[in-house]
Amino acid sequence: MNPLKALWEDHRQAPWLDYIERDLLTGGGLERLVRDDGVRGVTSNPSIFKAAITGSGSYDADIDGFLAAHPGASTGELYEALAIRDIQLAADILAPVYRESGRTDGFVSLEVSPHLAHDSAGTEAEAVRLWGAVDRPNLMVKVPATAAGIPAIEALIAAGVNVNATLMFSLTDYDAVAGAFLRGLERRDDPSGVASVASFFVSRVDSKVDAALERIGSDEALGLRGRAAIANSRLAYRRFLDLFHGPAFASLAARGAQVQRPLWASTSTKNPAYADTLYVEELVGPETVNTLPTATLEAYRDHGRPRSRVAGSFAEDAALLERLGGLGIALDAITAELQTEGVAAFADAFDSLLAALDRKRAARAAAAG
């Protein structure tokens, strides 16, 4: 069997595509991924949209049409119109997955402006606006798990907006996001039908921890390289099992609520010394999502070996993180730094996207005379 399809059919892990672009949506590419590879969702971010919108002529007709109808529109409004159309197209392609899964899968994610990452009210308002503008029940609005994002996540779940809680790097982040989800559900008369995933970032943790281990340079330190991110993620999965298969969730489950699945994000391998499927292979398990960039998806299709590995070694995973602490590596400080850097990187990508689109807009206006 195709290893990607086996992730879902044999192990109940949903593979999602971490990529979106117009030709994929209009040329049958996403339909093929859903049909042949078992892809069950799509995620996007400002970097992905920048590559898609500015890297080809696929959006030129829409750009011209939008500007003809709205000549005074800002470049931000132009971007949003293009992005929303992509999200709608992807959501429509995934609608059968959404229906067949009983509204538990088949989602497409769209991010609120990263410049709102420290503004609870602004995040909530923009998420509600995007939810209405996209007007698809299988949309997930991406909200960062910052201190300001946590109350926004709770409020959005309470309002019935599906949320992809993103930029999570630590167990503290996980606990905060899961708590916000549970509190949001408790505020609803009917908690069924509201979906959320908790996007836990993986490979970037190893990039930071490995650098610290190499600075230490001992045999013990060097032997721990490439292991922290997987252990950290597996312990988040243990928290998921404790929360969503224990008494904290039982009453909500009885009222029809669905669990908030862990989503493994940043699963491309950054270090060429590691296997290109490392962060897929080691985190296979039920009730999880793995969102794969195109290259990682293709690699896993070619030589993935799916087997449930995310559970079963929790004691060893905890011991590994304790060994890091014994070496003087402060994982909490590293993960906090990663979240700060992640917010800044997405904000920079968003600004770069608008600047590139502004240049494209000006060039098309000049060519038109």
Active-site annotation holds for 142? yes
Residues facing 15 on adjacent strands? 290
Using DSSP's 3-state secondary structure scheme, residue 133 falls into: helix
Q: Are 138 and 108 in contact (CB under 8 A)?
A: yes
Q: How far apart are CA 1 and CA 13, in angstroms?
A: 15
List Cβ neighbours of 227 (8 Å cut-off, separation of 6 or more): 206, 320
Angle between helical axes of 75-100 and 46-54 (0-180°, round to 10)? 110
Name the strand (E) or helix (H) holding 5.
Answer: helix 3-11
Q: How far apart are CA 181 and CA 185, in angstroms?
A: 6
- Residue 103: HSE in the Cβ half-sphere, 13 Å Cα cutoff: 13
Whose tokens are 């019935």? That residue is 160
Q: Are 202 and 265 in contact (CB under 8 A)?
A: yes
C-alpha closest to that of 90 among 111, 110, 112, 108: 108
Using DSSP's 3-state secondary structure scheme, residue 13 falls into: strand
- List % helix, strand, coil for the chain (3-state, nearest 5): 60, 10, 30
End-to-end CA separation in angstroms for the chain? 55
Q: For residue 133, what are its two tokens?
A: 């503008």
- Residue 165: HSE in the Cβ half-sphere, 13 Å Cα cutoff: 32
Q: Cα 257 from chain centroid?
A: 21
Catalytic residue from among 50, 142, 208, 360: 142
Active-site residue list: 142
